[in-house]
Chain A
Amino acid sequence: MNRIITIFGALIALNLTPLEAVANEDIDQLRRQLEQLKQDYESRIDALEKRLLKAEQSQQQLKQNVSAEQPVREPQVAPSQPPAQVTAMRGDRSFNPAISLILDGRYSDFSQDPEEYSLPGFQLGGEAGPGEQGFALGHSELVISANADDKFFGRFTAAFDTHEGETEVEVEEAFLETLAIPYGLKLRGGRFYSDIGYLNKQHQHQWDFSDAPLIYRGMFGNHLLDDGVQLSWLAPTDLYLELGSELFAGGRYPIEYSGDSTVPTYTLFAKLGGDVGISQSWQAGLSLIDARVDYSTGSGHGHEDEHGEEEHMSPIYSGDTVTWGLDLVWKWAPGGNNRQRNLVLQYEYFNRDYDGILSAEHEGMTETGSYDGSQSGWYAQAVYQFMPQWRLGLRYDALTSSVNGSSSELIEESGFDSEGHDPWRYSMMTDWSNSEFSQLRLQYGYDKSSPDADDYWILQYILSLGAHGAHRY
C-alpha cells in the first residue's frame, strides 16, 4: 500500500515537473517499479491461491472423516469437544455473573400507626413492622452471583428499603461458598441468611405473602441474618438429609439494640425430605438457635426528646436465649407438573426460652431483676395454584408468651408482658404471574396483633429482571 502511495505521489510530482527529460527518466523508473510491483503481487496471489486450495482440501478431508465416524446427514456437525478439556462451557454465558434486580412496590392500607406498632409479649427489631402506609417501595434487591472458579461460589445482595422517606441500602448477603469439598461437606462464610426454619433463607420476594409471619417478625425481625460461617453436610442417602451448624457474630440477634454484642450466636439445623410418588414431596426441619444477649457491652437504648435529654428507657434483657423450631412443608402437583396446578402446605413453630436479667436505668440508677420468660408461636399456610398464573393463599398466625421474673415492674415495662393479649392474625392473598418474572398480588389481613383489630390490604408487584431466578424448594 505504501508503495502505491509513493507511486501516486511520484506521479503527481511528475506532472508538476517542468523538465521533460527528467520526467522520461522518471517514467521509465516508474514503469520498472510498476512491473516489479505487478510481479510481486502476482506471486503473492499465487501463494495465497495455493494456500486456499490446501485449506479447502484439508477441510474436505475433515468432513469426510467426520461423516465416516458418524454417518449423519447434516454437514455442520459441531465437533464434539474432547471430554478432558470441557472447560469452555456454553452454559450461562449470557449472564456471567448472574445479575438480577428485584423490583417490589406496594400500596398498603391499614389503620394502625407503624410508629406505635407492637406485638404484645415480643420486643421488636430488624425490619419488623407493618411497613409504610400508602404507596411505597417495598424491598427491592440487587443480586449478583457466580461461581468465582471451580472451588468457590459467591453471592452479593443489596436491599433497598424506604423507611420514613429515606432510602436505606443494606448489604443483606455477601458470602462465599465452597463447591468442591468432598464427603458431602460445604463451607460458607460471610453475611448470609441462616438456614434455620423453612422461610428464613427465602428472600422477601420469594415469600408467598407480602409480609412475614408474625413469629418471624417477633423473633427474628423478619429474618435471622448475620455475619458468620456455616458448615453443612449432605448425607449420601436416598432420603435427603442435611445437617448443619452456623456460628454468627451475634450482632443482629435477637433484638436490634443489642447490636454491639460480641457474644456469638450458634445454630444447629437438620433437614429431611423426599418424594411420595411423583405428585408429592415433603421436607421437615428442626432448628436450634443458642444466642446470648450481652447488654453490658451495649451502647444503651432510648429515645432522645427535642431537648436532647434522654427519655425514660425501656428495660433491656441480657442473658441466654435458646430458640428451637420445627418446620414442615408438603407440596402436591398432579403428575409432578407444578406448572398447571399445585398445592403447598407449610407449617412452622418456634419457641424461645429466656434465662437472664432485665435492667433499666432510672434517674441514673440501674435497676435489675431476673427474667426467665418464654415465647412461642406458629403459622400455617396453604397456597393453591388452581390454574397457570393464578394462586390463592390462606395463612393463620398465632403467638403466645409467658413472663416470669423477680421484678414485675421491669417486666411490665419491658414489652415481654403480653398483658393478657396473645396476638393472632389471618391473611388471604391472590396473585397473578404473567410469566415467571412478574407477579401482582393482593393481600388482605385481619390482624389482632394488638387488642385493637386492624383490617389491612396490600397491593404488591414483584418484577424480576435479569438472570433467571431459582426454583427453590
Chain B
Amino acid sequence: MKGRYLLLMFTLLVPLQLQAALKVFTCEPEWAALAEELGGDSVDVTSATQAMQDPHYIQARPSLIARIHKADLLICTGAGLEAGWLPVLLRKGNNPRILAGKSGHLMATDHVTMKEIPAVVDRSMGDIHARGNPHIQTDPRNIGRVAEVLAERLKMLDSANGEEYQRRYEDFIGRWNAAIEHWEQLASPMTGMPVVVYHRSWIYLQDWLGLKEIATLQPKPGIPPGSRYLADILNRTQGLSGMVIIHSQYQKSKAIKWFSAKSGAPVVLLPTTVGATAEAQDLFSWYEDIITRLLNAHENVNE
C-alpha cells in the first residue's frame, strides 16, 4: 500500500518538475522573441509591452507587478528607456532574483556599444537619455551580441538544460549572421539614402545600412512637433531627391502626413519590434520586413 502511494507521489512529481520552465519577463517584444529562440520549451516568456505600445510610456500596472514577481530572468533594453516604470516594478515586485546585480537581471544596453551619449544632459533638449540612444534593437548585430549574453545567463540559471541552450544559441547565431549578410546585400543600393525620421529611434539602423538622417520631425525627444518647426524642416529639405520619411507603428502623428504631403516624400512605417506589423512574426521576419519596406520606398522615389 505504502509503495503504491510512493509510486503515485513520484508520478505526480515528475511532470511537475518537467514543467518548471524558467520564467522570463521581458520589457520589449524583441527580447521575448530572442528568449524564445534561445530557450525553446525550457522557458516561459512574457513581455511587458506589446508592439503597439511605446515602451517609454508604460505604467507599472498591477498585472505587470504580478508577472515580474514570479520571474526568474528579466530582460530589458535599459539605458533609461523604461525609466518611468521598471524601477517601480522592481521595487514593488518583491522579487530578489531579478534585482540589479543579480544574474537574473539583464539590460541589453549594458552589452552593446551605445551611440549618441550626450555630453550634457539638460531636459531643455527633451527627454534625452544620459546613457545614449536606447533604440539598439534596430541594428541586428546588437541582437546577436545580446543573444550571446542571454545564452550565458540561461545556462547559468538553468544549468540542467545548459547543453540545450548552447546548441540553440549556436544554431541561432549561425542563421542570424547569415541573415545579416543577406540583408546587407539587399540593402546595399540604399546606402546614402536621405531619411527624415519622426523620433530618433533608428540611428542604429541608419548607421548599419548607411542611411543619411537629415531631419527629425519631433523637435526634441518626448515633445510633439509644432507647425513652425515643421515648416523650417520643409524649407531645409526642399530639393532633396530620393528622400523617405520613417516612423514607427506607435508614432501616429498628423505631422508625418502633413510633412509627406508638403514634401512629396513617401512615408514608410517601420516595425520597431516583433509583432509590430503582420509580417514581423519573429526576429528574422521582422528584419526581413524592415528591409523590404525600405527597399519598396527606395524604389518608389527613384523611379
Query: Is A12 part of the contact surface with B, judged by Cβ < 8 Å?
Result: no
**Interface digits, A270-292 against B, CB 8 Å rule (1 contact, 0 not)?**
01111100100111000000000
Query: Which segment, of B10-18, B60-68, B158-166, B258-266, faces chain A?
Result: B60-68
Q: Is the CB of B96 within 8 A of A338?
A: no
**CB contact list, A234-267 vs B, under 8 A:** 234-242
Q: Is the CB of A74 within 8 A of B113?
A: yes
What's the least CB distance linking A366 to chain B, in Å? 48
**CB contact list, B105-129 vs A, under 8 A:** 105, 107, 109-113, 121, 123, 126-127
Query: Is A448 part of the contact surface with B, judged by Cβ < 8 Å?
Result: no
- The residue from A84, A241, A242 contacting B103, defined by CB atoms under 8 A apart: A84
- The residue from B95, B101, B111, B121 contacting A80, defined by CB atoms under 8 A apart: B111
What's the least CB distance linking A162 to chain B, in Å? 26
What's the least CB distance linking A336 to chain B, in Å? 5
Inter-chain contact count A-B, CB under 8 Å? 179
What's the least CB distance linking B127 to chain A, in Å? 6
Q: Is the CB of A339 within 8 A of B144?
A: no
Interface of B is mostly: loop
- The residue from A80, A82, A273, A473 contacting B145, defined by CB atoms under 8 A apart: A80
Q: Is the CB of B54 within 8 A of A72?
A: no
If A83-B153, A186-B94, A234-B93 touch, does A240 touch B99 (CB 8 Å cutoff)?
no
Q: Is the CB of B110 within 8 A of A436?
A: no
**Interface digits, B55-74 against A, CB 8 Å rule (1 contact, 0 not)?**
00111111101110110000
Inter-chain contacts of B156 with A (CB < 8 A): 83-84
Query: Is A365 part of the contact surface with B, judged by Cβ < 8 Å?
Result: no
Q: Is the CB of A86 within 8 A of B101?
A: yes
Interface size for chain A: under 10, 10 to 19, 20 to 34, or 35 or more residues?
Answer: 35 or more
Inter-chain contacts of A232 with B (CB < 8 A): 94
**CB contact list, A78-114 vs B, under 8 A:** 78, 80-84, 86-87, 89-95
Query: Is A4 part of the contact surface with B, judged by Cβ < 8 Å?
Result: no
Residue of B nearest to A464 (CB): B123
Query: Is B210 part of the contact surface with A, judged by Cβ < 8 Å?
Result: no
If A70-B173, A274-B63 touch, does A181 touch B144 (CB 8 Å cutoff)?
no
Query: Is B175 part of the contact surface with A, judged by Cβ < 8 Å?
Result: no
Q: Is the CB of A434 within 8 A of B223?
A: yes
Interface size for chain B: under 10, 10 to 19, 20 to 34, or 35 or more residues?
Answer: 35 or more
- The residue from A80, A179, A185, A282 contacting B148, defined by CB atoms under 8 A apart: A80
Query: Which segment, of B33-41, B82-90, B239-247, B279-287, faces chain A?
Result: B82-90
Residue of A nearest to B68 (CB): A234
Inter-chain contacts of B52 with A (CB < 8 A): 278, 335-337
- How long is the Cα–Cα vector from A150 to B99 in the complex, in angstroms? 8
Residue of B nearest to A271 (CB): B62
Query: Is B100 part of the contact surface with A, judged by Cβ < 8 Å?
Result: yes
Q: Is the CB of A471 within 8 A of B103?
A: no
If A80-B111, A86-B105 touch, does A240 touch B130 (CB 8 Å cutoff)?
no
Q: Is the CB of B141 within 8 A of A179?
A: no
Query: Is A184 part of the contact surface with B, judged by Cβ < 8 Å?
Result: yes
Query: Is B222 part of the contact surface with A, judged by Cβ < 8 Å?
Result: yes
- The residue from B66, B123, B144 contacting A239, defined by CB atoms under 8 A apart: B66
Residue of B nearest to A468 (CB): B83
- The residue from B69, B100, B127, B252 contacting A89, defined by CB atoms under 8 A apart: B100
Inter-chain contacts of B216 with A (CB < 8 A): none
What's the least CB distance linking B254 to chain A, in Å? 10
Seed contacts A90-B78, A437-B123, A471-B57; 4 additional CB < 8 Å A-B pairs: A74-B141, A86-B103, A274-B66, A472-B59
